[in-house]
Amino acid sequence: MKCRPSAAASRHGQARQLPKAPARPPRPWRYRQQRVYNLTGLPLGLAYLSQRILSPGVHPLNFRQYSPACHGPLEGLDYGAERPFFDWRAPDIIRGIESWLALDPPRLELATLAREELKQRGKMGRANALFAIAGLVPIDWLEDARKAVRASMPQGTIGRVRGKVYVILRWGYAEQNGFYGAYVGSTRKKVEHRFVQHRTGKMGARGLLKYGIEPLYSLIYGLNCFPGKECLTRETLLHNILQGIVSRVTGDTLKDGDESTQ
């Protein structure tokens, strides 16, 4: 059923028109930049986000005292491969980075390795955007550290041996030191169990209770296990290798004395 036009509209021979809404004033530039944090609008702000995450002066906003939970190695991922995410599709990598950065504690190692894979494919912009959204920065020395460890560290041995080395990612350093540091240790326990001890203050190293984030499994892949009497020797070797790459490396070494291993 058709609506009958009003009397005024009939006199002029046309339908009545509603008044137009006033034009919306232009939004400030800063607000428009924030809008691109929605991944559906990345092209407008991609350059800005990439610059924000990689340029001098960037400061991670979300660093805090994280939960002492320990994430185990990602099932099915070859941490020893040169490109662990080589077989992953780009959309799966993007979704992985987004979910890993949202965890408590965040899985910065996986997110950094995944970002490196996107860099090899020339698609790193969206990964940079996700780090910026999370208020975090990637581990810029991780790839160089992995190459150095693969080239110089002896592999684990076969047999009834329990010695293990581990590397814990920690934050709390100034920007000029890359925000992140590495704590190198050795143990006869499971690496995950020893990490929780550090984070809960039970026989923990200084600073890890507040600043510890996660174990770096890609730096110890293939290095464990070995005879327990070699713990401090291998810990010192790993410490010295990383010291040439990471600005801040802490942990016991042979020069500190022959201390017992937890």
- Between CA 94 and CA 92 the distance in angstroms is 5
Residues 156 and 123 in one domain: no
| pLDDT given at position 143 | 96
Amino acid identity, position 227:
P
Is residue 213 within 8 Å of residue 170, measured between CB atoms? Answer: yes
The reply to whether the predicted model has a pTM over 0.85 is no
Of 96, 122, 138, which one is at a domain's C-terminal end?
Answer: 138
For 196-230, the pLDDT digits (tens) are 999 998 888 888 999 999 999 999 999 999 999 99
Residues 117 and 204 in one domain: no
Domain for residue 31, yes or no? Answer: no
Query: Domain containing 148: what range?
Result: 142-256
Count of structural domains within the chain: 2
- Between CA 152 and CA 166 the distance in angstroms is 16
| pLDDT of 109 strictly over 90 | yes
Domain for residue 165, yes or no? Answer: yes
**Sheet strands (E) in 70-224:** 164-170, 181-187, 212-215
Nearest to 149 by CA among 82, 211, 226, 214: 82
Residues 118 and 155 in one domain: no
For 124-133, the pLDDT digits (tens) are 999 999 999 9
Q: Helices H, strands E: what count in the chain?
A: 10, 4
Residues 131 and 223 in one domain: no
Strands 181-187 and 249-250, sheet pairing: parallel
Of 118, 138, 158, which one is at a domain's C-terminal end?
Answer: 138
